[in-house]
Structure 1
Amino acid sequence: MSTDDQTKASTDAPLLNSENAFKLAVFGANVSGGCAVTSVEGTIAVDWSETKRIAQAADAAGLDAMVPVARWKGPGGAVNFNDRSFETFTWAAAVAAVTERLQVLATIHVPTAHPLRIAKEIATVDHISGGRFGLNIVAGWNEPEFAMFGVPQLPHDERYAVAAEWVSVIKRLWNEDTFDYEGKYFRGKGVHSSPRPVQSPGPLIMSAGASGAGLAFAAEHANINFIMAEDIAAHAAKAEMARRTARDKYNREIAVMGMGYVVCADTEKEAKAYFDYYVNQKGDWEGAAKMMGVAATNVEAMDMSTKSALTSMVAGYAAQPLVGTPEQIADGILKMSRAGLNGCTLSWVNYEEGIAQYREQILPLLVQAGLRSEIVTTADADLTERVAL
């Protein structure tokens, strides 16, 4: 596809370029249930034909990216949420091959893979995608999953020290030919990887850092800090903290993205009724509580002890609620933008219906608000080029 001398700047990738003022990405389409811990009909089943339809619909709708969840086993409960999942690098390669525009990320748990292997996998998918790949780095939190690998859970801040050394090796492999490496956690002789990624100096990096150590890691190594917050005010505070950490400690600018889940209907009453149905009547509260119990023991800077936090987990992976009419959804996204976010991920109970609804009813409102650009199809681009000639 591309060769090493046909590079493109990583800042041209969809989540970093200037095409859309507020970036939007599909989240969790590679895991069973998606982001809703519920037994309601229509959630993600995880098969390739479904994945391909969702990816191509997101691409056609002008959405900027797809961000997968790295999951190795479910927490139990009635639906065993996210237990069935596609591994994110092979998933990303396949999605990249059947899409044209959107950025495709893989999510990696640092303790599960050596940086040399990951550097090679990243370059491979970046070539398949023509320079549309991105990496979402997770330092570690899900202890039952790491036990499957025989990997002990390190103390919280040390996980980020490991991740910092890990990603530093990868960045050197993207930009140097051959070198010896002797670090605290990794070492190697004659370390080398070819081809390099299409993107220079390397693909976009995302990290979800909320604690002091997590904020510092994202500030030094990531292009985007991916945050979770209870409400709009908390989003604003966390976004400001992420940017200030990057500026003050490393003299860098960093983008900040949040999370949102969408329940959209013709009337607010209908949207709230459906929310009540899939959350309160069909929600797997036991499974959600088990997952949050694991997170509460291993993740700092997040309060997971309240009923509202558990409700948020069942409804949409603890994301910001976007519930109501298309106008209310657009207004909620506008508020996230005004809070200082550069973008957010989106999830739905039924992703295919939700993406179609976004394109037809919500996107025009976001274009009107100045947050999104109108979709330019391949046919439109070809016509523009012919007219220019």
Structure 2
Amino acid sequence: MSHVCFGVWAPVHGNRAAAHDPLEPYDASWAHNRDTVLEAEALGYDATLVAQHTVNPHFAERDQIDSWTATAAIAALTSRIELISAIKPGLFHPVVLAKMALQIEEISGGRFGLNLVNAWNHAEFEKAGMPFPEHDARYAYGSEWLSVVERLIRGETVTHKGENFSLDAYTLRPASRHRARPKIYLGGESEPARALAAGLSDVWFINGQPIETVEALISDLKARPRKGPPLGFGLSAFVIARETEAEAKAELSRLVELKEKDKPAKAIQESNTDAKVVMFQTMAKRSFVGTNGGTAAGLVGSYDQVAERVDAFAKAGVELFMLQFQPLRSEMRRFAEEIFPRFGKAVAAPAPRYSETAR
């Protein structure tokens, strides 16, 4: 089997597949996020992705953890796992965000990565009176934003005069003591997103899709001009792995049935979504559970089948699999116990839980 890295999505807004699951009560609390990442690290997972939303994008009345403050706290509690925090450029000035990134880099000892995403939920911005430009304009803004952030987190003294930002000999200290700068991940599959990924990111995140589609996407990015090291590739996927394919398909059917209860919330989400976002255009063509493509990546089946499909994606160029599970903690453990050994990864004992008073 190929060498791969496995990560897990933090439960920043609770369940990924179905919100009304009797096997997993809704929980987007700090304690649940903290304990999930601590256990993931203890089990041997390589990374966690902490998505960013100011309000819950599915259920306005439900909790939503903050990505950056949570990541900073988790950085102080962990010692090995990579911590990737998503960021929407329209929410933070590049100076403020770069300073936060370098601080988490310092706290974590060089384990931090920032994941730039182009916002899709216009209500998140408009209800706060913040501008929400059209799709390509957001990427133009994000491109300038990232060009400034990338230099600041390198420790450079930055003078910049652009359409959106003006900096005069700005320097942030401390710069990273561990490497040139924190790692940059980029999500999005539109043409502006691909161009930005090839130009300024270290890893391009692909939404869960069949391997033929993923191969074509990777081929397109590899063919683009680029300075520096080769671009890396990550894949989001929802996993259902069982002893037999029949058992996995039965669990998929259970989640599909539960997902029906979320239709009213999904309708609200769709009304708040920018129609030009390629992720949602692609997702609308496929049946799946989970987010960001979820089970469309095909990681549903027996342990051997799931391992073979992971290996096929790895041979196509995917280095990091950012995984979703439900119920999250038990399925995260199952995957580590059953799939990790097939890739030569040792499985450690689960981390001890924090006491209730430690919240």
TM-score by length of 2: 0.87
Task: Supply the distance in 2 between the matched residues of 1:190 and 1:29 (Cα, whole angstroms).
Answer: 39
Aligned-pair CA distance for 1:318: 1.8
Alignment of 1:19-58 (within 5 A): 21-33=3-15, 35-41=16-22, 42=24, 45-58=27-40
2:243 pairs with 1:266: yes
| CA distance in structure 2 between the aligned counterparts of 1:91 and 1:111, rounded to whole angstroms | 20
Number of the residue aligned with 2:43: 61
Contact 1:43–1:351 at 8 Å: present in 2 too?
no
**Cross-structure match for 1:231:** 210
Aligned-partner residue type, residue 29 of structure 2: D
The 2-side partners of 1:114 and 1:170 are apart by: 9
CA-atom RMSD, angstroms? 2.5
Instruction: Name the stretch that deviates more: 324-333 or 256-265.
Output: 324-333
1:152 to 122, 131, 142: 131
Amino acid at match of 1:154: P
What SS does structure 1 have at the residue aligned with 2:239? strand
Taking the aligned partners of 1:328 and 1:193, their CA distance within structure 2 comes to 48
Please state how far the C-alpha of 1:340 moved relative to its aligned partner: 2.6
Structure 2 letter corresponding to 1:47: S
Pick aligned residue for 2:346 from 364, 369, 374: 374
Gaps of 5+ in 1: 1-19, 368-372, 378-389
Alignment of 1:254 with 2:231, yes or no, is yes
Structure 1 window deviating more from structure 2 (167-176 vs 230-239): it is: 167-176
SS at 1:349 equivalent: coil
1:349 aligns with 2:331: no
Note the 1:1-389 alignment, pairs <5 A: 21-33=3-15, 35-41=16-22, 42=24, 45-76=27-58, 80=59, 83-176=62-155, 178-245=157-224, 248=225, 250=227, 253-283=230-260, 284-295=262-273, 297-300=275-278, 303-304=281-282, 306=284, 309=286, 311-312=287-288, 314-319=289-294, 320-367=297-344, 373-374=345-346
How far the C-alpha of 1:296 sits from its partner, in A, is: 5.5
* Partner Cα separation in structure 2 for residue 136 and residue 130 of structure 1: 18
Q: How far off is 1:126 after superposition? A: 0.7
CA separation of 1:151/1:81 partners in 2, compared to 1, >3 Å: closer, same or farther?
closer
In structure 1, C-alpha distance between the alignment counterparts of 2:187 and 2:156, rounded to whole Å: 30
State the TM-score, normalized to the length of structure 1: 0.81
Judge conservation of contact 2:6–2:320 (CA < 8 Å) in 1. yes
Deviation for aligned residue 1:280 = 1.7
Letter aligned with residue 151 of structure 1? M
- Give the total of aligned pairs: 344
Partner of 1:10: none
Deviation per CA, 1:296-354, whole angstroms, max 9, x where unpaired? 51313753574x63x42x44442223222222221221122133322221010122101
Q: Contact 1:38–1:278 at 8 Å: present in 2 too?
A: no
User: Given the superposition, is the C-alpha separation of residues 336 and 289 from structure 1 closer, same or farther in structure 2, using an over 3 Å criterion?
Assistant: farther
Q: Matched residues, percent identical?
A: 25
The alpha carbon displacement at 1:376 in A equals 7.9
**Gapped runs of 5+ residues in structure 2?**
350-359
8 Å Cα contact 1:271/1:325 also seen in 2: yes
Q: Find the residue that maps to 1:149 and give its secondary structure.
A: coil
Q: SS state of the match for residue 139, structure 2?
A: helix
Q: Spell out, residue by residue over 1:166-186, the C-alpha distance to the aligned partner (whole angstroms, 9 max, x if none).
A: 122222223346444321101
Which amino acid counterpart does residue 169 of structure 1 have in structure 2? V
Query: Which amino acid in the other structure matches residue 28 of structure 2?
Result: V
CA distance in 1, matches of 2:92, 2:106: 21
Residue equivalent to 1:9: none
Higher alpha-carbon deviation: 268-277 or 294-303: 294-303
Q: Distance in 1 between matches of 2:166 and 2:181?
A: 21
Give the letter for the 2:33 counterpart. Answer: T
